[in-house]
A = this chain, B = another copy of it.
Amino acid sequence: MACPFQHGSVPATRMPLAAAIAVTTSSGAASESAGTSTSDAASSGERQPVYYGDYLRLGTLLSLQQPESTHGGTRKAAHDEHLFIVIHQVYELWFKQILHELESIREIFSTDHIKERDMLTIVNRLGRVVEIEKIMVDQINILETMTALDFMEFRDYLVPASGFQSSQFRVLETLLGLRPENRTRYSQETYWNAFSDDDAGKLREAEGKRSFLELMERWLERTPGLHPDEFDFWSKYKAAVNDILAANRAQVDHAELTPETRQAVLAECDKNELSFQSVFDPAKHAELREKGERRLSHKAMQGAIMIFLYRDEPRFHLPFKMLNLLMDVDAFFSKWRYQHVMMVHRMIGNKLGTGGSSGYQYLRSTISDKYRIFIDLFNISTYLIPRSKTPPLSESMARKLNVFME
């Protein structure tokens, strides 16, 4: 038994003192006393000592690299296939970790009232997801040490396996909010045929769940200050913008300009006003949403604009941070896809991928904005107005954004 509070005080032997006690104690004293342990973790009396290799299941883990190019064990494997397997396994481990984080966030996010401390948890876990994505991007460099000719040594053995078939990655995209209709698919049938029944089941299950995009939408719609009886942000915002637009027109009217210049400037003013109309007018918004150019509800857009404008208020710190992290999550997946495309292009030229998924051209198609989940958030910047023109908070609204009563 270690002096329990001293985390990890046991000498580096495979038989910790804790276990030594368990062995020497005939009564249940040790395990009982564990109940008084000072840490949340312990109760070490009953536990077997933990060995690093056992804990990580290294015996099994390190036996899962089975190259196909051994031709059923009759030949020496192509040297580089080991790397190919390992890096894909590493990716799958990271996918699992990301899913672990996202699932825990979805759980919190699914409640109607998210406490401040839970918001902190969300922000911290999204931050972790982003760090993982950075590594996912960077480790493509490792695979790039394999040349096209080296890949050719074992490529045919993998037919028709394809990274396209990573069900974890597809579940992940789906949970974030990638809609089936935005995927590049050749035909419904072909798509589903690519997966094992088990994997297809997981995909369909994920498609049935509320995505992050939907949960975020519902949460944005609840942004404090939106309700007309409350602060009525939207009316105030529209008024502020309209003042700005009118002032612009007035400025142009009073300026001495050549006719061409006046025409050019006024054309810009028109374009500018039209852009704001698309967010003011619910019908126009609905139309854009129909076309897939916007994804969030009109109300959610209002919430997002409000958070962006008043992000300095204490209660909007974490919400603003969270929206930014969601953009990061999106951006890094895009970057990963892009770097992946470049690598694949170099590795297989414009040939088909191992799964026949059309390789370079297919992957190129996934870099389009269709694959970006939170694109509305990126576009919010279009609707920001300067701090000096932002409607001042009412006293009660200011108070509200300064208090957390949970």
Contacts and interface: CB of A to CB of B under 8 A. Distances in A.
Interface centre among A27, A72, A351 (most CB of B within 10 A): A351
A386 interface: yes
Interface in A112-162: 116-117, 120, 124, 127-128, 131-132, 134-135, 138-139, 141-142, 144-145, 147-149, 152-162
Contacts of A338: 334-335, 338
A308 interface: yes
A41 B356 CA distance: 17
Interface centre among A40, A89, A356, A379 (most CB of B within 10 A): A40
B41 A55 contact: no
Contacts of A199: 53
A115 to B, nearest CB: 9
Given A47-B157, A356-B9, A261 B24 contact: yes
Contacts of A6: 268-269, 271-272, 351-352
Interface centre among A3, A69, A165, A331 (most CB of B within 10 A): A3
Nearest to A270: B3
B57 A158 contact: no
Interface centre among A46, A61, A268 (most CB of B within 10 A): A268
Interface string A1-44: 11111111111111011101100111101100110111111111
Contact of A12 (B51, B55, B193, B399): B193
A263 B163 CA distance: 27
A342 B335 contact: yes
Interface residues of A, number: 186
A191 B209 CA distance: 50
Contact of A346 (B57, B250, B327): B327
Contacts of A39: 152, 155-156, 386
A247 interface: yes
B55 A161 contact: yes
A354 B194 CA distance: 45
A365 interface: no
Nearest to A41: B156
Contacts of A51: 161, 165, 196
Nearest to A21: B255
A38 B381 contact: no
A3 B405 contact: no
A406 interface: yes
Contact of A79 (B29, B104, B251): B104
The 9 closest A-B pairs by CB, nearest first: A349-B382, A41-B156, A349-B381, A52-B165, A148-B381, A8-B354, A3-B268, A38-B244, A3-B269
Given A52-B166, A86-B94, A134-B141, 20 more contacts: A7-B351, A9-B352, A10-B160, A12-B357, A24-B261, A25-B255, A40-B152, A40-B153, A41-B155, A41-B156, A41-B157, A53-B165, A55-B158, A62-B168, A83-B97, A335-B338, A338-B338, A349-B378, A349-B379, A367-B367
